[in-house]
Structure 1
Amino acid sequence: MQTIANRLIPQTAVFRADAPKWAWEVNVLKSDQINAWCMPGGKIAFYTGIIDKLQLTDAEIAAIMGHEISHALREHGRERASRAQLSQAGLTALSLFTGVRGATLDAAAMALNVTVTLPNSREHEVEADRIGIELAARAGYDPYAAVTLWQKMAKQSGGQQPPQFLSTHPSHSSRIDDLQKYAQKVQPLYEQAKK
């Protein structure tokens, strides 16, 4: 894990000049969960469940790590918090100025979630996927590993996934299609890194 991080971290400068100087830290947490994350400032965590259950290759780990690093580089967590505050303020104003309460206010909150919050979360996921495989390619990891990773994720989920419009993440098939196209775009970076 540390070796993979050591290859990815210098590549972050392409997206954010200060990022290589963050206090990067890689942690492997013993848990059956299929999960990984990266906090602002560079604290990376991988659960053993994602590594073991999916039988990940180094290149697939690099795709995940690159994805999670991308969330930190783009400050997606901060953006989500800001949007949530704005949404709550808007709903409070709607209630105060119109007297809307109860089920009607709940319906307005649900509509706001489906039309604004969830699509923005999916956009963050797509952006993190794309930046992540670019980081991996620049570090010398095959960008097509992101495709095999999501094929494994789809298989692991047994096809069980909420409809995309009700999810914070793109569907597995949408994600795989986009990653195949984007991997082709960054393939020259991978070829250059291998030299």
Structure 2
Amino acid sequence: MIVWNRHHILKSSVAVLTALTLGACGTVQTTQGGVVGVDRKQMMVVSPEQIEQASQQAYAKTTAEARGRGALNSNAAQVARVKKIANLLIAQTATFRPDARNWQWEVSVISAPDVNAWVMPGGKMAIYTGLIEKLQLTDDELAAVIGHEMAHALREHARERASEQAVAGLGISVLAAAAGIGDAGQKGMEFAYQGLLGLPNSRRHETEADRIGVEIAARAGYNPQAAVSLWQKMGQQGGGGPPKFLSTHPPREDRLSDLTVYAQRVMPLYQQAKGK
């Protein structure tokens, strides 16, 4: 007779968790590398259909609420400006994902003071007037914002984060139960996950979106150097920001340095687009 003590249970649970994780995970290449060379493979356990369905529901809810208060696409001139820029950028997404041509792209402008913009998986996007007005964005800077958000969608960062959380949640539950560490210990493991894996991955996503975003903008004929002035304005708007080790975004100095390098790298694409 074998007595399954805590040590044996823990080892067994880790083995089972590993088998489940490896069996469920799939390595995918969501985008082509482009000139900026973003070619990291990603591990996914959540299906693209699940993420896109959730995104469509969230988009429908957000736009319905905005429509209800008269804040959806209420300024015709502003909407025309945003859609013109977005459509030029959309035309360049095939450089990274040929299938993006078939996405059901949709652009909404929401009248609200939020300094915010997003593009959901599948191409549904919203730009908030607070972003445009408070930062007094030029067309090039607005292209930098939209290109960055498009890059998140092209790279399926939301799906990757959901996959990481799904695997981490399973692992934390199994290991906490096996080790008998209780709720407090489980919370500690969750915080450890966020600090050691979760937040650094978010910073990596932001860097990837920055690099792809400047290339999309450059190919569409927008000055990629505007990404630098954009984030300078963002820094002035948001203050100093949280410490680097607690932030889901790269520190401003690191971000500006990286954007300067990659904006210069794609400058020939911008010059070629402007020369057409």
- TM-score band, normalised by the shorter chain? over 0.9
Q: Does 1:149 align with 2:238?
A: no
SS class of match (1:142): coil
TM, length-normalised to structure 2: 0.69
Per the alignment, residue 74 of structure 1 pairs with 155
- Structure 2 residues without counterparts, runs of 5 or longer: 1-81
SS class of match (1:18): helix
Q: Does 1:179 align with 2:251?
A: no
Residue identity in the other structure for 1:173:
E
Larger radius of gyration: 2
Aligned with 1:106 (options 178, 183, 187): 187
* Alignment partners' CA distance in 1, 2:243 and 2:101: 37
* Alignment partners' CA distance in 1, 2:147 and 2:220: 10
After alignment, is 167-176 or 11-20 more displaced? 167-176
Per the alignment, residue 188 of structure 1 pairs with 268
2:173–2:186 CA contact under 8 A, matched in 1: no
* CA displacement 1:148-188 (0-9 Å, x = unmatched): 000000111122x1112111111111111110011011111
Tell me the matched-pair count. 194
* Alignment partners' CA distance in 2, 1:139 and 1:105: 48
Report the alpha carbon displacement of residue 94 of structure 1 after superposing the two structures with TM.
1.0
Per the alignment, residue 19 of structure 1 pairs with 100
Aligned with 1:167 (options 238, 247, 267): 247
Q: Does 1:124 align with 2:182?
A: no
Percent of residue pairs identical: 57
SS class of match (2:203): helix
Per the alignment, residue 177 of structure 2 pairs with 96
TM, length-normalised to structure 1: 0.97
What is the correspondence of 1:23-42 to structure 2 with a 5 Å cutoff?
A: 23-42=104-123
Residue identity in the other structure for 2:244:
Q
Higher helix share: 1
* Alignment partners' CA distance in 2, 1:2 and 1:119: 33
